[in-house]
Amino acid sequence: MTANEGDLRARRRQATARDIHAATLRLAVEHGFDHVTVDMISAAAGVSRRTFFNYFTTKEAAVIAGPRTLPADALAQFLASPQKEPPQVLRDLTQLLLRELELNQPDREELRQVMALAAEHPSVLAALLAGFDTFEQFVASTVAQRLGAEPGDETATLIAAVGLAAMRTGLQRWAHGPASETSPQVSPVTQVEHTLTLLNSFLIL
């Protein structure tokens, strides 16, 4: 398989995952989350039940559909840097996370709906938190690799937690913040960049 073929396959998988997520969220809003079935989601997304489970383990996982990996090119650049000072690694990590956000920008109304469903349904909240935890472990292992440390390293874990907390803060403010910050002209990337600039102002080399 060539690199272009691999990229095309990855984009197709991302598109299918987005379609399933959008169908799940739409049905949850229309019928109530408890009344939505995997068969309903599969039919609405135009995929088979088997395809649904190739992408998501449950309907809760489909409705949250958070990031599960990082852009390969940006990830390789992050890992190749020789700098290992924690403040710089944190700065570089936030840029890596921002790159993922640029490639997969959320829809504001969809994000609000996901947050509302998580607030209303414990199973959705549990899936959301589990998704955060899984992705945070992946990011922490990536940071440990950059630091030349063992998986589970305390510094790497803390850097990952801080970077992801800043990202979530920016996205939450974008979704639910004051009107002056959430006007249609402000993208999630712009809001998160503002939050990361604030975070970087706290770092002292």
Whether residue 83 is found in the same domain as residue 44: no
**pLDDT tens profile 44-82:** 999 999 999 999 999 999 998 777 788 889 999 999 999
Whether residue 136 is found in the same domain as residue 196: yes
Q: Cα separation of 115 and 133, whole Å?
A: 17
Stated pTM of the model: 0.83
Whether residue 113 is found in the same domain as residue 197: yes
**pLDDT tens profile 1-29:** 565 555 677 778 888 999 999 999 999 99
Whether residue 44 is found in the same domain as residue 100: no
Q: How many domains does the chain have?
A: 2
Could you list the residue range(s) of the whole structural domain that residue 26 is in?
1-65
Q: Cα separation of 15 and 39, whole Å?
A: 19
Whether residue 120 is found in the same domain as residue 83: yes
Q: Cα separation of 143 and 89, whole Å?
A: 8
Whether residue 26 is found in the same domain as residue 77: no
